[in-house]
């Protein structure tokens, strides 16, 4: 067991966007009672004592928190590296100046596509022009800028334009992250999962652009799990390097773990030290002793740690099973069938999507 180095602080699930691939939980109404400013200060203090050095401020939309500057300042005073993960809606010049003065180190902005109509349609609200203006503001104020584009069947064919936009905005880093299927993305999987042909075209473009932009823009390209032979390691191992605190104070080994039928661990009731070192939730899948076959005897067991526990639960109903993404999993046929359906010759590129609701509309 190691000490954590990263904390993802999901300050609120409120968000002005309605992206159909949002990984936040479906039951948004359960997260209305958010931690106070003082409670977040306590979380930050305890995280530092655990060894955390990076604080990622996310949501929802963290700019919806009026106390965001105070939270940033509290983290900066403790020496944490702070990263704002944002849609950029609400990042006015005045707010940006306050965040810079408060000690914010880095800004990551999500953009849904490279042109206004498509981007606004995916986001569910007019937002493209404000995102571009915010990206330019970030660079003007001297912050490193990461642009995050979540890829799916409806926008992956725009990847050349996406990279051209990143170059125009002088981004330092670009994340081309194919949708992973949790939350609303799981609900919309049939419409979001790209075809193999789309992925191959995208990879060709990414390889060429990586070579051309080497030394100028760092490009990260993440395939959908469903097209990999082996699963990704679950957060580098369950409760191994990082953890999440959700808006209501639930501490989680990964941001998608809310639906798992496991005991809760909440910062209102327990210290982070107890949660990380002793809680049943964080102990449940830590290490390799919990593994069933074929993971238990697999030479990859300390490489991918059995894959994603949340994905195993969503696909099989049992979080302790081998991730069905793995070709060695007895449940791999579930993933193979989803991939087969995504590659049906007559399947349309665009399909009906259910947008993420605003928390105030959730029951």
Q: Which three-class secondary structure state does DSSP give residue 225?
A: helix
pLDDT tens per residue across span 78-112 = 999 999 999 999 999 999 999 999 999 999 999 99
Q: Is 234 annotated for ligand binding?
A: no
- Give the mean model confidence (pLDDT) for residues 335-363: 70
Over residues 158-168, mean pLDDT: 98
pLDDT level of residue 362 (50, 70, 90 thresholds)? very low
Q: How many CB atoms within 10 Å of residue 275?
A: 24
Q: By the 8 A CB rule, do 112 and 119 touch?
A: yes
**What SS3 state is found at 141?**
coil
Query: What pLDDT is attached to residue 123?
Result: 93
Long-range contacts from 287-293, C-beta under 8 angstroms, 24+ separation: 287/1, 287/237, 290/320, 292/320, 292/321, 292/322
pLDDT (mean) for 211-223: 95
Query: Rounded distance, CA 103 to CA 92, Å?
Result: 17
Classify residue 95 by burial, with Cβ atoms within 10 Å: 0-12, 13-18, 19+. Answer: middle
Domain count for the chain: 1
CATH number at residue 58: 3.20.20.70
Range(s) of the domain holding residue 109: 1-362
Q: Do 82 and 105 contact (CB within 8 A), yes or no?
A: yes
Give yes or no for a contact between 357 and 18, defined as CB atoms under 8 angstroms apart. Answer: yes
- Report which DSSP code applies to 29: G
The helix (H) or strand (E) run that includes residue 279 is none
Lowest mean pLDDT across 1-15, 140-154, 240-254: 1-15
Say if residues 337 and 347 touch (Cβ distance below 8 Å).
no
* Model confidence at 145: pLDDT above 80: yes
Residue 49 has a CB neighbour count (10 Å cut-off) of: 13
Bridge partners for 86 per DSSP: 109
Distance CA 348, CA 200 (A): 18
Question: Over the range 51-65, which residues count as b (16 or more CB within 10 Å of their CB) and which as e?
Answer: ebebbbbbbbbbbbb
Residue-level pLDDT at 360 = 46
Q: What band does 118 get if pLDDT is binned at 50, 70 and 90?
A: very high
- Tell me the whole-structure pTM to 2 decimals: 0.93
User: What mean pLDDT comes out for the span 185-199?
Assistant: 93
State yes or no: pLDDT of 295 exceeds 90: yes
**15 has binding-site annotation:** yes
Is 254 assigned a ligand-binding role in the annotation? no
Alpha-carbon distance 253 to 353, whole Å? 29
């Amino acid at each position: 067991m190691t000490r954590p180095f990263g904390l993802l602080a999901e300050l609120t699930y409120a968000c002005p966007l309605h992206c159909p691939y949002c990984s936040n939980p479906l039951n948004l109404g359960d997260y209305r009672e958010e931690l106070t400013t003082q409670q977040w200060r306590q979380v930050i203090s305890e995280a530092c004592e655990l060894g955390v050095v990076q604080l990622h401020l996310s949501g929802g939309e963290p700019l919806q928190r009026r106390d965001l500057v105070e939270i940033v300042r509290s983290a900066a005073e403790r020496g944490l590296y702070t990263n704002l993960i944002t849609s950029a809606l609400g990042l006015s010049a005045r707010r940006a100046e306050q965040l810079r003065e408060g000690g914010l180190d880095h800004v990551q902005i999500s953009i849904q596509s490279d042109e206004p109509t498509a981007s606004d349609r995916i986001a569910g609200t007019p937002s493209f022009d404000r995102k571009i203006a915010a990206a330019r503001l970030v660079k003007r104020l001297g912050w490193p800028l990461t642009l995050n584009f979540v890829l799916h069947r409806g926008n992956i064919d725009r990847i050349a334009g996406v990279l051209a936009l990143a170059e125009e905005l002088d981004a330092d880093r670009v994340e081309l992250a194919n949708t992973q299927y949790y939350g609303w993305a799981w609900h919309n999987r049939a419409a979001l999962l790209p075809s193999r042909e789309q992925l191959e075209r995208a990879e060709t473009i990414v390889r060429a652009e990586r070579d051309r932009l080497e030394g100028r823009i760092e490009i990260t390209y993440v395939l959908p799990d469903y097209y990999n032979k082996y699963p990704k390691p679950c957060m580098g191992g369950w409760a191994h390097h990082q953890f999440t605190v959700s808006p209501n104070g639930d501490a989680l080994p990964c941001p998608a773990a809310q639906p798992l039928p496991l005991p809760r661990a909440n910062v209102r009731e327990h210290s982070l030290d107890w949660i990380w070192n002793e809680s049943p939730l964080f102990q449940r899948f830590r290490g390799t002793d919990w593994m069933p076959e074929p993971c238990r005897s697999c030479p990859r067991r300390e490489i991918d740690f059995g894959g994603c526990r949340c994905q195993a639960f969503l696909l099989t109903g049992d979080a302790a099973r081998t991730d069905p993404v793995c070709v060695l999993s007895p449940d791999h046929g579930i993933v193979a069938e989803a991939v087969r359906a995504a590659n049906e010759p007559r399947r349309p590129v665009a399909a009906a999507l259910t947008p993420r609701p605003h928390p105030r509309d959730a029951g």
